[in-house]
Amino acid sequence: MMRVGMGYDVHKLVEGRDLILGGVKIDWEKGLLGHSDADVLLHAIMDALLGAAALGDIGRHFPDTDEKYKGISSIKLLQHVGALLEENMYVINNIDATIIAQKPKMMPHIEKMRGNVAKALNIEKNQVNIKATTEEGLGFTGSGEGISSQAICALQDARDFMADDRIMPAGCGVCCKKN
């Protein structure tokens, strides 16, 4: 069965913090405020993946009240989410995400972000799409107060593949029984 999840995250831009998006440090005058590295792109992707698998959200798995997550790289958190999906026998079909920011320009960094996400989740780069848009000066992202991100993903339960009669060995009635 195909499962779809969506994620959203937003963080405030402040001085004195690095701007990290998609695991890429972007040279910019401000960074995102948060308990971890505040990577809104990866946070939205993680929430989409966790939601599709009905495994809660990043707040449940990585609470901002836990000091062990203070300043942590969201790439490490994404790797943990990937391990949770694998443990629960989910296969990622694809991820599509959007960064919403007036500035800085994201285009020079998007290919590196795609590679970082794919590597962290042990999937192919062509399974990850990342794009960026502005809000034409409107709202908190348009005024440069913050950056947000949205993501959607599709997962497949790996047990669906194992229970497919087309891939079961002839006469096998034990190893691949459908639940």
Residues tagged in the binding site annotation for a divalent metal cation = 9, 11, 43
Strand partners, 105: none
Q: For residue 122, what are its two tokens? A: 């042990």
Number of Cβ within 10 Å of residue 177's Cβ equals 10
Q: Which residues of 86-101 are buried (b: 16+ CB within 10 A; e: fewer)?
A: eeeebebeebbbbbbb
Q: Indicate the DSSP class of residue 167.
A: G
- Spatial neighbors of 157 by CB under 8 A, at least 6 apart, are 1, 3, 89, 90, 91
Q: Residues at the annotated binding site?
A: 9-11, 35-36, 43, 57-59, 62-66, 133-136, 140
Residue 77, classified by CB atoms within 10 Å of its CB into exposed (0-12), middle (13-18) or buried (19+), is buried
